[in-house]
Chain A
Amino acid sequence: MTGHPTNGLDDTVHQRHRLGILTITAEARAEFGYLRDTLGLTPGNLSRHLTVLEEAGLVQVDKGYEGRRPRTWVRITGKGRAALAAELAALTELVRRHHGSPAQQPGLTPAPGS
């Protein structure tokens, strides 16, 4: 990242619900209903956010059935992990500059294995 930390913010990722989707899926593969309930989105809104992220190659959406129930699972890609890490780094740097000291935010480092 060069210059001001906002230069490191990606327009696709830098949206609170998309960041939420990436954060959750970086932790574990998540089902559509879990994302919808946890983020407080309507199914339509969540679908649109997922489409944006999927077209950018940041998540992969797997649709299938468990028994007779249709289930949609979302998982983060390697590119998505890198984008999330870059976004978190940029936000952390913004906080650090704002406060003029190293940020001490809980759980900001990317998950192990990311």
Chain B
Amino acid sequence: MAGDQGSPGPPPERPAPGGGRGSRPPAAAGASPAGEPGLLLADLARLRRQTRTARHAYWFPLILFGVLTCGAAPLYVAAAAPPPASGAYAVRSGPVLLGGTPFGTSTFYIGWYWAVALVGGYLLTLVWYRRHAGRVGVRTPARGYLITGVVLTVLALAIPPLTGWLHVLSLVWLPFGDVWIRGTLAFLIIAIGLWVLAWAERSRVLAVIALVYTGAALLSSLYNVENVVFRLGWNPGRSAFAWQLTALPNVLLPAAVLLVAGCGAFLAQRRQGRT
């Protein structure tokens, strides 16, 4: 390849210090121009990998949402309290899609907890990506991730109350009660956000994490995970509070996936940053 075909012809470049941040000189530097297209292609592929690695920063949203999920665990334990002996239920209108069954006051708090935690978490993640871009010099377009998360959260908040005026909206959520009745719809919103982020980051690893997390979120939404834990030998006891603890596996399973993946990603990205 001609060193400087086209116009204008810049003066000679300074020698690349170790090939910039990489271990080799930049694209075919010093190579016979037209005779080394293979070398040039390999160097361009290396540049692309290097840039992709530099912009990966997804450990933060994984850990953030893992911690936020753990923070919600006490609310799920409280919501699992047995109904009062009189059989009367308190019904308190709230974000039913995020909080789960409308019976009892604790699900009201779960709903509002997730409304704030999801929007706050997505905003914090956007700020994180902006700061990371300022630090390393390459920017992941995280705005789509923010928009996806906030729009889904707002829809989850708005659709049930709007159903009173627009009855057809009931078709959007009432037939899918299995997905939200346990108050775990937030996990699926987080999962969709991870898929969007995996696309924005062009990360296969994050796509695999999103796949595993989606599986865990669906399991927590559709099944009582404590059944599995019981079979593994866990017996919380017979007291009322011990019974409430059986709500924990459904919450801690997706949280564990996020935290383990986030810690692994943090270590891997820190190691890559050093090399």
Q: Which A residues are closer than 8 A to B by beta carbons?
A: 6, 9, 11-12, 14-17, 19-20, 23-24, 26-31, 33-35, 37-42, 44-45, 48-49, 51-52, 66, 71, 73, 88, 91-92, 94-95, 98, 103, 105-108, 111-113
Check if B20 sits within 8 Å of A15, measured CB to CB.
no
Taking the closest CB of chain A, its distance from the CB of B11, in whole angstroms, is: 7
Check if B13 sits within 8 Å of A112, measured CB to CB.
no
Which of B48-56, B92-100, B109-117, B220-228 forms part of the interface with chain A? B48-56
Taking the closest CB of chain B, its distance from the CB of A54, in whole angstroms, is: 13
- Indicate which residue in A14, A38, A45 contacts B47 across the interface (CB closer than 8 Å): A38
Check if B47 sits within 8 Å of A23, measured CB to CB.
yes
Chain B at the A interface: mostly helix, strand, loop or mixed? loop
Q: Is B1 an interface residue (CB 8 A)?
A: yes
Which of B35-43, B66-74, B243-251, B252-260 forms part of the interface with chain A? B35-43
Check if B48 sits within 8 Å of A40, measured CB to CB.
no
Q: Which B residues are closer than 8 A to A by beta carbons?
A: 1-8, 10-11, 13-17, 19-22, 25-29, 33-34, 37-38, 40-45, 47-52, 54-55, 133-134, 136-141, 199, 202
Q: List chain A residues, Cβ under 8 A from B134.
A: 66, 71
Q: List chain B residues, Cβ under 8 A from A11.
A: 5-6
Check if A48 sits within 8 Å of B8, measured CB to CB.
yes
Taking the closest CB of chain B, its distance from the CB of A68, in whole angstroms, is: 13
Check if B41 sits within 8 Å of A105, measured CB to CB.
yes
Q: How far is the CA of A40 from the CA of B140 in the complex (A)?
A: 23
Check if B45 sits within 8 Å of A106, measured CB to CB.
yes
Q: List chain A residues, Cβ under 8 A from B20.
A: 37-40
- Indicate which residue in A30, A39, A48, A107 contacts B45 across the interface (CB closer than 8 Å): A107
Chain A at the B interface: mostly helix, strand, loop or mixed? helix
Q: How far is the CA of A17 from the CA of B141 in the complex (A)?
A: 24
Q: List chain A residues, Cβ under 8 A from B1.
A: 9, 14-16
Q: How far is the CA of A1 from the CA of B152 in the complex (A)?
A: 45
Check if B7 sits within 8 Å of A94, measured CB to CB.
no
- Indicate which residue in B13, B21, B40 contacts A41 across the interface (CB closer than 8 Å): B13
Check if B19 sits within 8 Å of A40, measured CB to CB.
yes
Can you name the residue of chain B whose Cβ is closest to the Cβ of A10? B6
Check if B6 sits within 8 Å of A12, measured CB to CB.
yes
Question: Contacts A16-B26, A16-B29, A91-B40 known; A34 to B13 CB distance under 8 Å?
Answer: no
Q: List chain A residues, Cβ under 8 A from B54.
A: 34
Central interface residue in A20, A42, A113, by most chain B CB within 10 Å:
A20
Check if A42 sits within 8 Å of B13, measured CB to CB.
yes
Taking the closest CB of chain B, its distance from the CB of A8, in whole angstroms, is: 12
Can you name the residue of chain B whose Cβ is closest to the Cβ of A11? B6
